[in-house]
Amino acid sequence: MTTLKKGDKAPDFSALDQEGNSHKLSDYAGKKLVVFFYPKANTPGCTAEACDLSNNYARFTANNYVILGVSADSAKAQLKFKEKFDFPFPLLADEDKSVIEAFGVWGPKKFMGKEYDGIHRTTFIIDEKGIIDEVITAVKTKEHANQILG
């Protein structure tokens, strides 16, 4: 789905999180940034993925990583999701899909024989200089931290 690849400059995004705080790419200069896109808050696969990242959060911070979750859910839905599972990272409420489209993860999907447009579960690892280091499209929701950290 995405045309972004390793070595590309990450899109200069700006979006609000579950509490209305602004996040943009430049805020994370000097840090490794994990931006994980997920279809919908509080659904089984998305919950498994976010919980796996949360459970391994200390490993990420020890390696200079910051994590941002992104979906098209409302700030209210993101806040409920974050509070329910006590996630230590922000969840961006990208209702206008500006970040989702900038990263190229919106497009046709198939589920149970139906075709529709939605978010393709994709994770981008961005280095300290804002360059994409890795794009993970075959996300293993229950083992995602190991896919990123090895």
Whether this model's pTM surpasses 0.85: yes
Which helix (H) or strand (E) element contains residue 46? helix 44-55
Of 72, 71, 65, 51, the C-alpha closest to 125 is 65
Catalytic residue among 10, 35, 41, 46: 46
pLDDT digits (tens, 9 = 90+) for 18-63: 999 999 999 999 999 999 999 999 999 999 999 999 999 999 999 9
Render 81-102 in DSSP notation, one character per residue: HHHHHT-SS-EEE-TT-HHHHH
pLDDT surpassing 80 at residue 121:
yes
pLDDT, tens digit (0-9, with 9 covering 90-100), for 18-29: 999 999 999 999
The DSSP H or E segment spanning 22 is: strand 22-24
Check pLDDT > 90 for residue 2.
no
User: Is 46 a residue of the active site?
Assistant: yes
Contact 92, 15 (CB under 8 A): yes
